Structure 1
């Protein structure tokens, strides 16, 4: 992620320890601009900061049982900006949950495990490559 512009990454998880661990791993891996949120509501309230990528927990009700869950948060993110890639992160190891997230326009679904961070890095790298190719293609098409 060697771009001159820092990648703005939102991390949203109600598990404070996991959230801090993820934040540290991303800081150590690359030069990200990272903001963390413990609820979907806080994430939504900060969408005006235009994150490049959002990593979003599926449940989000560990602190407040009435908090907006990950799917509702995802829906609101997509209403605000359909183009923002959102990766759902969950301890749910059920195909139905992953499929549901994809129907809600998640870019990808990652199960919380010891390999989750590596998988997230690969997905973010793929997102950035895709965005670069799309930008180059649009530049080329504008000149035709």
Structure 2
């Protein structure tokens, strides 16, 4: 059964175990276009592959998640970047959204369920944008 909403995913995380969990989870949801990067620099060098959705770890060694996020948004503001963080920190969450992240997720045992909710939210937003009724998009975003 093909997933009718095919997205190109980037997973950017220096924790290979977490990245494997996310990738396996996305494969189970029938998404098969998934590229893994263990650091922000490699992710930035590959943005010409035009990912739709990037799950971006906040806490990485080479470049901070925020630096990577800002560069992704400068390169293409239409990429949906979901910031994933090990710590539940409200300031980090607020900053992530301020710098253009679509959403912010804590790495815990519900992280995969939250990914599903976020992907569904992105599908709704993209559908609304396709109809290009700006009021509709505003109304949709206000639901979340």
Name the residue aligned to 1:87.
82
Tell me the TM-score normalised to structure 1 length.
0.87
Q: How does 1:30-109 map to 2 (within 5 A)?
A: 30-61=30-61, 67-109=62-104
Distance 1:124 1:29 in 2: 11
> How many matched pairs?
132
Name the residue aligned to 1:64.
none
Distance 2:104 2:50 in 1: 21
Whose Rg is larger? 1
Deviations 1:64-95 (Å, cap 9, x if unpaired)?
xxx01100000000010011110000011111
CA pair 129-32 structure 1, distance change in 2 beyond 3 A: farther
CA pair 22-60 structure 1, distance change in 2 beyond 3 A: same
Deviations 1:48-70 (Å, cap 9, x if unpaired)?
00001100000111xxxxx0110
Distance 2:20 2:3 in 1: 23
Residues 1:132 and 2:133 are matched in the alignment: no
Name the residue aligned to 1:122.
117
Which deviates the most, 28-37 or 9-18? 28-37
Distance 1:102 1:81 in 2: 16
Deviations 1:87-123 (Å, cap 9, x if unpaired)?
0000111111101111111101000000011001110
Flag structure 1 segments of 5+ consecutive residues without an equivalent.
Answer: 62-66, 139-144
Distance 1:113 1:97 in 2: 16
For the aligned residues, what is the CA RMSD? Answer: 1.4
Distance 2:72 2:31 in 1: 24
Structure 1 ranges of 4+ moved more than 4 A: none
